[in-house]
Amino acid sequence: MYPSSRVLFTVYRTVVRQPYSHNNSLLRVHPTGIRVLSGADNISSHVKLYSTEHSEKHGKRDKKTEPKHVKPDSNTQRTGDESHSFKAETQMLLDMVANSLYSDKEVFLRELISNACDALEKLRFKNIETARSQIQGNEDLKIEISANKQEMVLVIEDTGVGMTKDELIKNLGTIARSGSRAFIEDMKKKGKSDMSNSVIGQFGVGFYSAFMVAKKVEVQTRSSSDKSGYKWTCDGSSIFHVEPVEKETVGTKIILHLKPEAREFADSQRVEDLVKKYSNFVRFPIKLNGNQINSVEPLWVMDPKTVTMDKHIEFYKFLANSFDKPRFVLHYKADAPVNINALIYFPEGKPGLFQGHEDGECGVSLYARRVLIKSKATEIVPKWLRFVKGVIDSEDIPLNISRELLQNSSLLRKLKSVITNRILKFLLDKSTKEPQEYTKFYDDYSLYLKEGIILGESQTEKEDIAKLLRYESSTLPPGETTSFLEYRKKMTEDQKKIYYLVAPSRELAETSPYLEAMKEKNVDVIFCYQQYDEAVLMQLKEFNSCSIISVENELRRSTQDNHVSTPGGLSESEIDALTGWMKSYLKDKVDTVRINNKLDTHPCIVTVEEMSMARHFIKTQKHGLTDDMVYSLLRPRFEINPKHPLMKKLFLLKDSDVQVAELLTEQLYKNCLVTAGLIQDPRNAIQKLNEIFELILKKY
């Protein structure tokens, strides 16, 4: 079939559909003229095998481009040995595939095992098609690996479909020709595309990753449809040899003669670690030096109804390398809008000391047809969900040719959205069906949910996460919490806003002057006890078309600018005199001084525009700013209660004892700033308080 002249490679110079970029290119532009092959292209159409014999398709050969015949080595050539030469450009292409395509040498074992799995799958399909359980004496479907550290040899052997001489030359003599892709296309033509879903190979370059670690590669193979065996040999140079070989069993045996710098891959423990890392869940048994090493079942591909909790516990401990148990288990399959097999575990234990850090590692691994693609699926699992553990397997994952990088950002966004929404829906169901268990989970992991709102990419996503938040409120007894959904249901028709109050504790929240000033509205107020809760609600902004606003901001916007007196309080003239005097004393520390008739037991409050943002500014940006600069930026409004005894007495003191009146005014103002959270260190207010005590003691 292939004459003794020579078989050479021709690398087509093709027009690439995508412009060159470092991230999505397969091969770089080279001075000899090889064009960049993009991951989006079907690269199997770029590199093809052609004979140097004359053909009608190619016409007369050009003497300038005809390759020279390679003289075989008389010491090594045996009967039937055929030597095939590479064209110079193809040799360079082989070097690129072997040395530049993969980021880590260790993935060569993943690629070769994946090829072996495909060969086993093809034989299994062939058995089904022919209704025969065994073809040509094929043994059990399996993969055998042997490592010889002393000889620096690694052998990977499968009992799969094998290759004929023609297939051997085409598949291994043509870079980027994928036999698995051709098999899949053949199955589709026969209307049996579902039978090929477990085939892994796509690009036809995985085999050449062996040259990253091997100085010489031998392939012994025998097809299930042929009684003869053949051996393919190449040392990575410009020639490969094909010759007959005695092989009793059907399948393929790859012998890697390792380079000195790759001697680690002849170590049995290193090989076992790599198999468990990348190929632990492939469909077929993998034996290393006679012992099976992939015994853990891939639970995510099984029917969720058939997997017991004991199996989940065992798999979770293996996956998470942990000794606790999963608190919740989310196991689901989906075909639309994207194909997904997902198994997500929510840990029972509390997050570790460093796990909560924003740079913590993702706990979900990404697989494609049971083969590990990425141990940290950061592209499809949001950062705030880094506390979950599990596996996501999808046939729709867009991979680049090395199967190390994900492509097609629109599909990845859809996949990420599907996974995130499914997890949120699962937790929402748990919160309603198992409220006590969910409360325990929330106590341990609520910080991650709140981080999700801050990092959320859309308002819809933020509101979906907000459905899981729980807060105490002014209308509920201590210890009892409510959700935004429940709050929304209890709102009256005329209430258009959701109110919250930030305080260190419930006691301080219930005694807050701002809550007191809201009593006449008769609305429920959410209590936030953590400082970061305020930042979370600022990012959330609204829920179910209702704006979320702090009670301080509401008071700022609703307080009337008038000096109308109330029964039992100062008169209008007294109010004007007192507020004018206080403004003249405080000067630029306040923007205005006015009354607030909504206060009852508290003498005064301070309001500023956007109190939440003001507090955040004080916490993060105040360093280096003087008090006067802060006052000028915040423009606080000092609001007094004209009915309070302190204000009545202060009105008299401003004329009878100016020193005490000034000290008292400044102390009341600083008290308000402390209550509002606008003074980080309340110790600064103690000095004036001591001066007031000294003056009082002098009079008694």
Q: What's the length of the chain?
A: 700
Strand order of the sheet with strand 497-502?
472-473, 525-528, 497-502, 546-550, 542-543
Q: Is 596 in a helix, a strand, or coil? A: coil
168: Cβ contacts below 8 Å, ≥ 6 apart: 219, 221, 230, 232, 242
372: Cβ contacts below 8 Å, ≥ 6 apart: 110, 277, 278, 279, 280, 365, 366
User: DSSP strand E in 59-207: where?
Assistant: 82-85, 143-148, 153-158
Nearest Cα neighbor of 92 from 242, 237, 258 is 237
Residue 203 is assigned to a ligand binding site: yes
24 in Cβ contact with 409 (< 8 Å): no
Residue 252 is assigned to a ligand binding site: yes
**What is the Cα 165 distance to its own chain's centre?**
45
Residue 630 is assigned to a ligand binding site: no
Nearest Cα neighbor of 252 from 432, 83, 59, 112 is 112
H-type alpha helices, 625-657: 627-634, 645-656
Strands 291-292 and 637-640, how do they pair?
unpaired
Residue 420 is assigned to a ligand binding site: no
382 in Cβ contact with 455 (< 8 Å): yes
Residue 111 is assigned to a ligand binding site: yes
Q: Is 482 in a helix, a strand, or coil? A: strand
176 in Cβ contact with 94 (< 8 Å): no
Residue 52 is assigned to a ligand binding site: no
Rg, C-alpha atoms of the chain: 37
Residue 171 is assigned to a ligand binding site: yes
Residue 202 is assigned to a ligand binding site: yes
Strand order of the sheet with strand 153-158?
82-85, 239-245, 229-234, 214-222, 251-258, 153-158, 143-148, 286-288, 291-292
Residue 24 is assigned to a ligand binding site: no
The conformational region for residue 553 under phi > 0 = left, psi -120 to 50 = alpha, else beta, is alpha
595 in Cβ contact with 643 (< 8 Å): no
Residue 518 is assigned to a ligand binding site: no
* CB atoms inside a 10 Å sphere around CB 669: 21
Residue 281 is assigned to a ligand binding site: no
Residues placed in the known binding site: 111, 115, 158, 163, 171, 178-179, 202-207, 252, 403
Residues placed in the known binding site for ATP: 111, 115, 158, 163, 171, 178-179, 202-207, 252, 403
